Each structure stands twice: as structure tokens, then as C-alpha cells.
A = this chain, B = another copy of it.
Amino acid sequence: MENKHPASDNTKLTRREALKLAGVGGLGLILGATGVKSLLPSASSSEKAAAAPVLADGIIPFYGKHQAGIITPMQDFICMGAFDLTTASLDDVRKLFQSWTAAAARLTAGKTADEESGSPHLPPADTGESAGLNPMRLTITFGLGASFFDERFGLSGKRPAALVDLPRFNSDEIRKEWSGGDVVVQVCANDPQVAFHALRNLARIARGKAVLHWVQEGFQRTGAADPSGSTPRNLMGFKDGTNNPKVSDPAVADEVVWVQPSDEPAWMTGGSYMVMRRIRMRIEVWDRSALDDQENTFGRHRDSGAPLGKTNEFDDLELDRKDANGNPVIPVNSHVALAHMEGKVKILRRGYSYSSGLDARTGQLDAGLLFICFNRDPRKQFIPMQQKLASVDLLNEYITHVGSGLYACLPGASEGGYIGDTLF
């Protein structure tokens, strides 16, 4: 991701908005800026500077032109799930998205999933494990998989051309239990319990209409572990996201991320396409490889994150530089050289590490990267980039893609509207 954590539109609150949100959250978040910083350390200092003055940090508005959780500066944790619809009624689907929208707006504001009935003889409206916790920059982002547009709901004519079936990439070992789904819900927050709580309550609300198809947790280092907000490291020990596009610039976000009015279909204008890849790392093999092999694989120095032959993380790549023997300083099949795509193709990466115990089949760590990226058209961005990477990237010796999904993330909703109202 982008190192400087630029403040997105989602985090720019006026003083009035902030006070209002803090009030409806009922969590007493109206604090001086210093107090907020000490309570909520996970946004980098530069992000805070850009977003100042902020009185009620920790709440990212749910409603807006775009869904939050896309160009929003990354939170520390993710709890993500895909649902399969069990209803065959479009009206049920519409109601589900209305219920989900209402619950997501409440949850991201630090409230319970719904008002309690007050009767002890009924199940609680909220499962309770986030009671008393701060909102922790919770975002909830909804997307639709290609299977959503099959014959069930009469919407097959509305399937976006960009919502393709992803091709099989070289060396893919995709497993169904970590892939696909009719609807994806990306929940991010600076606290794992807050994130889990949100996804769980959305699953509960879906009862009778949809069931979970997969769930995936992920993490990055916490803000308290790295208060300077430097580029996070992946589980290979390398900084990951140095060259992410600067989507704090609306022109860049429009170019790279947001579906434009000139794109088809109109109901996706202001939305974006999310790619999810569960990328298993061969941790034990990587850990036996020499430092120079590792650095040649990425094309960067491990400690500094600088391009090979350079000193600083943000130094220019200069892929045409040669050493004394006339060989490229940065190997042409290194990850940075391939992903650079001559500077013409960009995606917005928003990935997390995952660690999920041992792989019972191999006795090795089941850990790696929950790769997530957003792009305006995967046919022109993710897919060509991944085809190039999958064919020759030196990293392929150490990774395997085992889960996969492509989702049309809907435009944002206005208050009074709901996520999906441009489509249904």
C-alpha cells in the first residue's frame, strides 16, 4: 500500500460531522486531538496531519459517493467473507442489502448492529463482543461475484463485461473453499474483535437468505508497533506497497480505481473491481534461501526497501541501470521489474498477511498474503499484470495462489439509499 497513508475523502470530517458522529456513536469520543492520538495510534502521523482537525477519530463515514474501505488508508486487521445466496427471490436480495446497509452504517459508527428489543426472552439484536470498544476505523465494503449474475435473479443482462471469469494463471492451485462467492464483504478495522463482530453480525442478519462460503482473517503490524507508519513488511520480511499509486490525488483514484461514467455499466459508476488472491508462501523454503537470492527475487534490498543498487526506499527504480558487466542491476524477472509494467498499468494494493495454523497435509505453516487489489477494469490492469507475473516472476518458486475471487464493488450509498440501489 501507499506508504504515506494519504487521507482519503472518507477520512476528511468537518468538525460538525465529527461531533455528530461521536454523538450518535454514544461512545464519548469527543476528545482533544492529543487524546485521540494516544487512543488511536494506528493512523500514521502524516495521515493525521492531512486529516486534521479531527475530533472524533476512529469513525469512517459509511455513506458517500464511494464505498469506504477502498481508498481508505489501510487498517491493521481484516475479517473478510464471501456469501452464497440461498434465496431465489430478487426481493429478498434487495431486502438483505437494505438490512446490511443499515447495520453497516450503525456498526461503522460504533453502534450495535441494531436496537435491542428490550425483551430478555428474545435473542439479542447484537452479539455483544464489541460492547464498550472504540469504533477503530471500521469499514465494511460490499461486492458482487460473477455468480451473482447467473439465472437466479434475472440480472444476467446486467453483468459487467469487466466482471470476467479470471483466467487460470500459470502455477495456480486454486481451491474452491477459498474462492468465489455470490457476494463478498470486506471488513477492516484497527481491532480484530471489532472486525470479527461486524462480519459475524452481517452473517446473522443474512440468515435464511445467504450463507457464508469462505471467511478469511488477516493482519498487519499494529500502529502501536510502528507509530511512524512506515511501509509494512510482508511475511517474507520485505516492505510491501512502496510503489502503490497515490490515490489521495482524486485524478489518480479516478484513473486507477473508480469506474467512470464513460465505462459500462452505469450502475457501477463510482464503484471498483476487487481482486482477492489467497497466496500461500512457502515459508520454510524461503527461510532457507540466501539474502541475495531473496533480494534478487524482489528486486529490492530487504532492510531499506530501496531498489537494488539504491539507498532509499522511495528512490526511482531505474530498471535500465546496468552493472559493470552490462547486466541489469535489477533482474528483469524480479517482482518489482515485472510488476512495474513500464509504468503504464497500475493497481491499488490493499493486502494483509495471514497465518492460519499448520497445513495438516504438509506440516508446514499455512501463512502468506491475503492479496487484495482494486482496479477500474481488471481486463486492463490486474489480469495482464498477473499473467506477466505468473509466467516469469522469480517469486513463483516461493508462493502458490490457492484462493481467488473477482468482485464488482458497488458504488457508495447516500443516506436514505442502500448499497446496490443503482442495480436492484
Residues of A that sit less than 8 Å from B by CB: 37-42, 79, 119-124, 126-134, 136, 177, 190-194, 196, 200, 203-204, 211-217, 219-228, 230, 233-238, 283-284, 287-292, 294-295, 302-303, 353, 355-358, 360, 363, 365, 367
A127 and B357: CB pair below 8 A? no
A133 and B212: CB pair below 8 A? no
A196 and B235: CB pair below 8 A? yes
B234 and A129: CB pair below 8 A? yes
User: Chain B residues near A212 (CB, 8 Å)?
Assistant: 358, 363, 365
Question: How many angstroms from the CA of A253 to the CA of B284 in the assembled complex?
Answer: 39
Question: How many angstroms from the CA of A216 to the CA of B367 in the assembled complex?
Answer: 12
Q: A39-B224, A194-B221, A196-B353 are in contact. List 16 more A-B contacts (CB 8 A).
A: A79-B355, A121-B290, A123-B289, A124-B302, A129-B235, A132-B226, A133-B225, A136-B225, A190-B222, A192-B355, A193-B219, A193-B221, A193-B233, A194-B225, A215-B358, A216-B357
Q: Which residue of B lies closest to A219 (CB)?
A: B192
Shortest Cβ distance from residue A401 to the other chain B in the assembled complex, whole angstroms: 17
Question: How many angstroms from the CA of A294 to the CA of B116 in the assembled complex?
Answer: 15
Shortest Cβ distance from residue A327 to the other chain B in the assembled complex, whole angstroms: 16
B237 and A128: CB pair below 8 A? yes
Given A219-B193, A221-B193: A214 and B123 interface contact (C-beta under 8 Å): no
Question: How many angstroms from the CA of A224 to the CA of B79 in the assembled complex?
Answer: 18
A365 and B133: CB pair below 8 A? no
Given A38-B38, A235-B129: A225 and B134 interface contact (C-beta under 8 Å): yes
Given A37-B38, A190-B224, A215-B365: A131 and B233 interface contact (C-beta under 8 Å): yes
A134 and B365: CB pair below 8 A? no
Question: How many angstroms from the CA of A365 to the CA of B294 in the assembled complex?
Answer: 37
Q: Which residue of B lies closest to A125 (CB)?
A: B291
A–B Cβ pairs within 8 angstroms, 27 of them: A37-B38, A38-B38, A42-B224, A121-B291, A123-B288, A123-B289, A124-B291, A124-B294, A128-B233, A128-B237, A128-B302, A128-B303, A130-B221, A131-B237, A132-B230, A133-B225, A134-B226, A136-B224, A136-B225, A191-B221, A191-B225, A214-B358, A215-B355, A215-B365, A216-B357, A217-B355, A356-B357
Given A200-B283, A295-B120: A357 and B217 interface contact (C-beta under 8 Å): yes
B227 and A39: CB pair below 8 A? yes
B215 and A193: CB pair below 8 A? no
Shortest Cβ distance from residue A45 to the other chain B in the assembled complex, whole angstroms: 11
Most buried by B among A129, A214, A223, A224: A224
Most buried by B among A213, A225, A287: A225
Question: How many angstroms from the CA of A193 to the CA of B217 in the assembled complex?
Answer: 13
User: Chain B residues near A353 (CB, 8 Å)?
Assistant: 129, 193, 196
Q: Which residue of B lies closest to A287 (CB)?
A: B204
Partner of A290, one of B120, B128, B358: B120
B224 and A177: CB pair below 8 A? no
Question: How many angstroms from the CA of A190 to the CA of B127 in the assembled complex?
Answer: 25
B211 and A363: CB pair below 8 A? yes
Question: How many angstroms from the CA of A204 to the CA of B357 in the assembled complex?
Answer: 16
The 9 A-B residue pairs whose C-beta atoms are closest, nearest first, are: A128-B237, A38-B38, A120-B292, A191-B225, A133-B225, A193-B221, A192-B219, A215-B357, A120-B291
